[in-house]
Structure 1
Amino acid sequence: MSHSSTLLSAPPAAKSLQIGLWIAQVLIFVAFTVFGYMKFFMPIDQLAAMWVWPGEVPPWFLRLMGLIDIAGGIGILLPALTRVLPRLTVLAALGCVLLQIAAVIFHTSRGELSALPLNAVLLPICLFILWGRGKRAPIAPRG
């Protein structure tokens, strides 16, 4: 049975959960890859004009955060979508949860409370993916 036929024949609650998880995964993929791309590729002075902190941390730290964001975004979606090592999606979700917790601590310690609403949106979405793909609706590996 194909993945799509499993989704279509699932009970309504399971189907809505699957749809919600896929939407959440796409949202996190887009957010993390866009922000990661910005942190990795944009000139630091342009980033510092948008957010304060990029101009106040070492460039290697900013670029590393960009790579981590990109990896998290890709990891949230690609393994589940391809069904190749879909457990990596769960690990990516865990990494994204930990990253958001670290970001809240980082921004709070610096008094950057204006950054927290974004983390307050991303963190529960990442937790939902972690719970959903880890416990409630895991993706079966291809095969």
Structure 2
Amino acid sequence: MNLALWIVTGILAAVLLVSTSKMYVPRERMAAVGRAAEWVMDFSPGALRAIGALEILAAAGLILPAVLDIAPVLVPVTAICVALLFTGAAIMRLRRGERATIAPDLLYLALAVFVAWGRLGPAPLHG
């Protein structure tokens, strides 16, 4: 169970780090990539930077407390926050009528819930 939680945590952290590209790629360029990225036009550049900053903090919060053995309880707390982030992403996609592009957000939401459940229950990190 511990290995599965570490793998899922690593995947989530990687996804969050990759998605921080919204901080430095112009909105217009991101929106031109395809339908799944058109949502960026609904947000100001400042809001996108704020979301990206939260994603960087989330990636760090999923990994560093456990690796450094400093306040490992922050891992499930961060996973809950990541689940809330992806809940917001899914709601935003539903409001925009983008049901075809909601699947990845729901998958990442499920992974975050799995990490939170696993680290709070069957395989807690001890610090």
Q: TM-score if structure 2 supplies the norm length? A: 0.92
Aligned residue for 2:121? 135
Give unpaired runs (5+ residues) of structure 2. none
Instruction: Give the counterpart of 1:85 among 62, 71, 85.
Output: 71
- The residue that corresponds to 2:24 in the other structure is 41
Higher relative contact order (CA 8 A, sep 6+): 2
Structure 2 match to 1:125? 111
The AA in structure 1 aligned to 2:60 is I
Secondary structure, counterpart of 1:136 in structure 2: coil
1:1-143 matched pairs, under 5 angstroms: 17-36=1-20, 38-50=21-33, 51-141=37-127
CA distance in 1, matches of 2:29, 2:75: 32
1:56 Cα deviation after fit: 2.5
| Residue deviations 1:15-46 (CA, integer Å, cap 9, x gap) | xx01100000100010011102x111212221
**2:72 is aligned with what amino acid?**
P
Q: If the length of structure 1 is used for normalisation, what is the TM-score?
A: 0.82
Gapped runs of 5+ residues in structure 1?
A: 1-16
- The ranges of structure 1 where at least 4 consecutive aligned residues each deviate by more than 2 angstroms after the TM superposition are none
1:114 Cα deviation (Å)?
Answer: 3.0
Identity rate, percent: 28
Choose 1 or 2 for highest CA Rg: 1
- Check the 8 A contact 1:75/1:88 in 2, yes or no: yes
Matched residue pairs, number?
124
| Cα contact 1:33–1:74 (8 A) shared by 2 | no
